[in-house]
A and B are shown apart, each in its own frame.
Chain A
Amino acid sequence: MAHSEDDYEYRIKEGDHIVLKRGDVYKAVQIQRKKKVIFEKQWILLDNVVGHLYSTTFEISSGGTLQPKEDEETQSSTDVKVTGTDNRHIVDDGKSQKLTRDDIETMKEQGLTDKEIIKQLIDNSSTFSNKTGYAQDKYIKKKKKKYENTVTVLKPTCRIIAMMYHGREPGKICHLRYDTLAQMLTLANIHAGSKVLVFDTCAGLVLGAIMERMGGYGSVIQMYPGGGPVRAGMECFGFPAHFHDMLHEFPICHVNALLAGKLDTSAKDPTEGEKQVKVDAEEEQNQPEAEQQEGSPQEENMEINTGDDVGQDPEKLEKEKRQEAKAQERKEKLEEKRRKLAAAAALLEGRNADGLVIASQFHPSSLLLGLLKFLAPSRPFVVYSQYKETLIECYTKLKEQGGTVNLMITDTWLRHYQVLPDRTHPLLLMSGGGGYLLSGTTVAFDHSKPAASRLAEEPAPKRQKVKDSEN
C-alpha cells in the first residue's frame, strides 16, 4: 500500500476542526492560516501543524509557532538516585528553593525547555534529595505540568469534545457530564439508519454526538426554540459534508400546527407576500451581473445590512441595486428556510421517528409530552435534566397518560483512579453532579381505557393467584 496516500485522512489539513490538548485541558479550534489562538494563556499560531499527522505533539517556540516535538528517550527525565525514607527532618522554612521567582522568569525568557527548568529547580532545592522517591516523582510531575510548553493536536471525537465542554464550559451544556451523555446515546439506541428527534440546548454537543453515532446514515431532526438551532458544539466535530445532508431542523413553535395538520409549508413567512416573491424572482436574472459589477465591498455591506433598510447612498441607482440585492438575498434565505421546514415536516408527519433525545434547560415535561407524539411505538426516548425534580414531574405525567413502559430515572457516578505501583487509589476529587436522565420506551396507546391509572400500568390478570404467589 502506498503510505502517503494511506495517511491522507490522518493528516492535518487547512480548515480542519481540531482539538488542542495539554494535560487534561482541551480546546477546539479550526485551522486557519495566520490566525492566532490563545491556549493555556499562550498565543499560538497553527500554520505549522498543517501536513503533520494527527496526535502529533508540538513544542511552542517564541512567537507562538509550533515545532514537532522530538521523541524523548524515556519519561524518567531526571534520574535521581538519592532518596529519603520519610519526612521527619524536612522543615518548611520557605528557603529550600534557592532560585528566586525572577531567576525562573529569566530562564523562561531565555527559552529554556521545561526539562531544563525542572533540572535547575531540582539542583537548587536543598530538600529534594531528602524526599522519598514518591514525593520526588510528585514534585517533578507538578513542576512539569507548570513549565510544560507543548500542545498535542487531536482529531475531534465525541469523547474528547464532551470532556472538553465539561471541563471548560459546563454551564453551556447544562452540566451534562460525558458519562451521562454516553448513557443517553446508549439508552436511546442511537445507530446508523434511524430517524432521531433531538432537542438540544447544550450548544449542539448532544446533536454532534448523535450524528457521530449515526455515521451519516438515517436522519436527525433538530427541534429548536427561538430563531434558529444552536450548533457550535456540533461544528467542533468537523463532520464531512455528507453528514449535513442527514440533518434537518424544525422550530418547536410549529409543533402544534403540525400535530393539528394545519402547518402550511407552501408559502411560509407571513411578512413576505407571494407577490413580492414573484417580483424578486423576475429580478433574479439580472442579479449575477449586478453583483459582479459592484464587487466585494457591496457584498460586505449586504451582510451587515441584512434586514435593515438604511441605504444612505447619494446615488439613487446604487441604492436601488443594493435594495434589489438585499431583497434577493432575503428571498433566497426564506425560500431555503421554507424548503427546510417542508422537508423536516415531511419527516415528522409520519409520526414514526425511531428515537427522541431531549437535553435542555427548558422544563422537560411539556417538551417530552409534545415530542413523544412523533415517535413510533416500541422506540426509546431519553430526557436529560440537571435537576431531578423536573424529571419526577415528567415521570408522573407519563404514568398518568400511558403509552410508555420501562420508565426509569437514573444518574451515574463517575470515579477516576490513580493507578501507580504501591500508590493506587481513587482520585481525591470526583465530579459532584452530572445530571439526571429519564428514559423509557413508547408503546401503542390503549384506546379502550384512556387515562390509565397507576395500577393499570401493571397487567392485571383476572385471576390473581399468580400475582399473589410472586413475592
Chain B
Amino acid sequence: MSFVEYSDLIKDGDVAIVHLGHNSVTPVKVQHGAQTQTRYGAIRHSSDLIGQRYGSKVTCSKGGWVHVLHPTPELWTVSLPHRTQILYTPDIAMVTMMLELKPGSVVCESGTGSGSLSHAILRTIAPTGHLHTVEFHQQRAEKVVEEFKEHRVDHLVTVRNQDVCKDGFGVTGVADAVFLDIPSPWEAVGHAKAAMKKHGGRLCSFSPCIEQVQRTCEALTEQGFEEIRTLEVLLRVHNVRDVTLQLPDFGPDPSSSQASPQAMEGASTAASPNQTSLRIKTTTLPREMPGHTGYLTFATKPRT
C-alpha cells in the first residue's frame, strides 16, 4: 500500500480504510496483533486484515461485516483526523486541474493544515514531482510529517515549519504551481512569485471571505500576475429515492363507460380502482447542503 501506488494485498504497517456502510469510513493502521473496535465488533488485524485482498469483506466479532478499502486521497479526506478546517474533494479537484498539476510538477503549498490537499497533490505529481509545504504551527507540522511517512509518500514531500508570509516557502525559482490557504494570502503573494519558475506557473488562493479575495487580487495585479480569475465550486449530492405519489380520484368517467366492452376491460385492468398511487424513481437533494466553502482565485505568473 501507498497513497501513490495500488497494491492488492493488505500488509503489516499499511493504512487501510474500513468502510462501515452509508459512506461512513474510518482509517486503520494495520499492525500484527492489534484489534480495532467498530460498531459491528472487533477486527483482529493478524487474521482479518493482513494477507487479505483490498476490497474484501471482513466479518467482525459480533457477526456484522465491513469492507476494507485501499487508501486513496479521497477516502483519506473523508476519514482523516481534523486538526484544522480542511479542503474537500470538489475544491481539490478544481485546484488540481486549474493549477495544471501532473506527474513531475513541483508544487508549493501553505498551510499544510491537516494534509487533505497535500495527499491529493502528492498522488498527482508522483513519481517525479515534489511538494514543498509550509506550516507555521509546530505540532501540526510534526504530525503531518509522521503521516507522510506512514503513508509512504515522504520521499515526495518536504515539510517546513515556518511562517510563509515572513519567510516564504524555503525554495526559489522551482515551483510550477503554488497553493495558498492562509488567513492573509496577500502577504504571501510576493513569496509565491519568488518560489515559482522563471518560465512562469500557476497560483491558487483559497479564501472563505470576499474581502480576502479582494486584497489577494490587488496584490496579484501588483505583482504582475495575469489571467486572474475567482470562482467557486459547489457539490450537490443527489439521493436516489423511490417516491409514491397519490393519484386523484375524479370518480367514474361516463365517457369511458360508453366505449366498447373490450376497451372497458382493458381500462379496468390498467387503472383499477385500487390503484390510487404511482411509484417513481427520482432523486432528492439533501435538506441542507454546504453552500460555501471558499472562493478559489487562480492566476498565471508570466515569464520573468
Q: Measuring CB to CB, which residues of chain A are less than 8 angstroms from any residue of chain B?
A: 7, 10, 53, 55, 157-159, 162, 178-179, 181-183, 185-187, 189, 191-194, 212-217, 352, 354, 376-380, 388, 392-393, 395-396, 405-406, 408-417, 419, 421, 424, 436, 441-444, 446, 457-463, 466-467, 470
Chain A positions within 8 Å of B120 at CB level: 186
Chain B positions within 8 Å of A442 at CB level: 55
B84 within 8 A of A: no
Q: Name the CB-closest residue of A to B19.
A: A405
Q: A105 CA to B297 CA in the complex, in Å? A: 39
Chain A positions within 8 Å of B56 at CB level: 377, 443-444
Of A214, A376, A416, A419, which contacts B103 at CB under 8 A?
A: A214
Q: Is the CB of B126 within 8 A of A191?
A: yes
Chain A positions within 8 Å of B200 at CB level: 55
B90 within 8 A of A: yes
B57 within 8 A of A: yes
A-B contact pairs, 25 of them (CB 8 A): A10-B303, A55-B200, A158-B100, A159-B100, A179-B94, A182-B98, A186-B120, A191-B123, A214-B103, A376-B55, A377-B54, A379-B55, A405-B19, A405-B21, A409-B238, A410-B237, A412-B234, A414-B233, A417-B295, A419-B217, A443-B19, A444-B57, A460-B64, A461-B41, A466-B39
Q: A413 CA to B228 CA in the complex, in Å? A: 20
Of B4, B5, B53, B96, which contacts A185 at CB under 8 A?
A: B96
Q: Shortest 10 CB-CB distances between A and B: which pairs?
A: A377-B55, A215-B103, A378-B55, A186-B93, A461-B64, A182-B97, A378-B54, A417-B230, A462-B63, A409-B238
B146 within 8 A of A: no
Of A178, A186, A393, A419, which contacts B297 at CB under 8 A?
A: A419
Q: Is the CB of A187 within 8 A of B74?
A: yes
Q: Measuring CB to CB, which residues of chain B are less than 8 angstroms from any residue of chain A?
A: 4-6, 8, 19-23, 25, 39-41, 53-57, 62-70, 72-74, 89-90, 92-94, 96-98, 100, 102-104, 120, 123-124, 126-128, 199-200, 210, 213-214, 217-218, 228-240, 281-283, 295, 297, 300, 302-303
Interface centre among B4, B54, B94, B238 (most CB of A within 10 A): B238
Chain A positions within 8 Å of B54 at CB level: 377-378
Chain B positions within 8 Å of A377 at CB level: 53-56
Q: Is the CB of B231 within 8 A of A457?
A: no
A159-B98, A409-B237 known; 6 new pairs, CB 8 Å cut-off, are A55-B303, A186-B74, A193-B5, A377-B53, A417-B231, A424-B210
Chain B positions within 8 Å of A424 at CB level: 210, 213-214
Q: Name the CB-closest residue of B to A184.
A: B93
Chain A positions within 8 Å of B22 at CB level: 458
Q: Is the CB of A409 within 8 A of B283?
A: yes
Q: Name the CB-closest residue of A to B230.
A: A417
Chain A positions within 8 Å of B68 at CB level: 378
Nearest CB of chain B from residue A73's CB, rounded to whole Å: 13
Nearest CB of chain A from residue B56's CB, rounded to whole Å: 5
Q: Is the CB of A388 within 8 A of B213?
A: no
Chain B positions within 8 Å of A466 at CB level: 39-40
Chain A positions within 8 Å of B65 at CB level: 459
Main DSSP-derived SS at the A contact region: mixed
Q: Is the CB of A178 within 8 A of B97?
A: yes
Q: Name the CB-closest residue of B to A191.
A: B123
Q: A189 CA to B72 CA in the complex, in Å? A: 7
Q: A462 CA to B90 CA in the complex, in Å? A: 37
With A191-B4, A377-B56, A436-B238: A416-B230 Cβ-Cβ less than 8 Å: yes
Nearest CB of chain A from residue B85's CB, rounded to whole Å: 19
Q: Name the CB-closest residue of B to A214.
A: B103
Q: Is the CB of A443 within 8 A of B67?
A: yes
Of B57, B66, B73, B210, which contacts A189 at CB under 8 A?
A: B73
With A380-B72, A417-B213: A411-B94 Cβ-Cβ less than 8 Å: no
Q: Is the CB of B281 within 8 A of A396?
A: yes
Q: Is the CB of B104 within 8 A of A215?
A: yes
Q: A379 CA to B98 CA in the complex, in Å? A: 25
Q: Is the CB of B238 within 8 A of A388?
A: yes
Q: A212 CA to B232 CA in the complex, in Å? A: 24
Chain B positions within 8 Å of A395 at CB level: 240
Nearest CB of chain B from residue A201's CB, rounded to whole Å: 21
